[in-house]
Amino acid sequence: MPAVEKKKIALGPEHDEKLRDAVRDVLRQLGASQVRHDWGVAGSQELSALEVDLGDQRVLFEAETYMGLSITGPADLVDRIAERINESRRR
């Protein structure tokens, strides 16, 4: 079985509520299943991580203070999700 290429994309600022709404909407539309959700604070940094399954693939969304909101996972899936999020935000 060939190795799956992983990719990480910065989607935007972690505090952008419209971006977070778009992420939730796209994940709902795609039928994502939540695997885990973690949240924590370390000094001035707040970090949250949401891991979801889409079919037999898994992606990770991370939001970190000053670092932004990002998505990591199989390259083709990350690209598709990011494009749908961008389309959703343009509406």
Domains of the chain: 6-90 (3.30.160)
What per-residue confidence (pLDDT) applies to 1? 57
The dihedral built from the CA positions of residue 7, 85, 13 and 65, taken in this order, carries a sign that is negative
Q: Which residues of the chain have pLDDT under 50?
A: none
What per-residue confidence (pLDDT) applies to 41? 95
Helices assigned H by DSSP within 31-90: 75-90
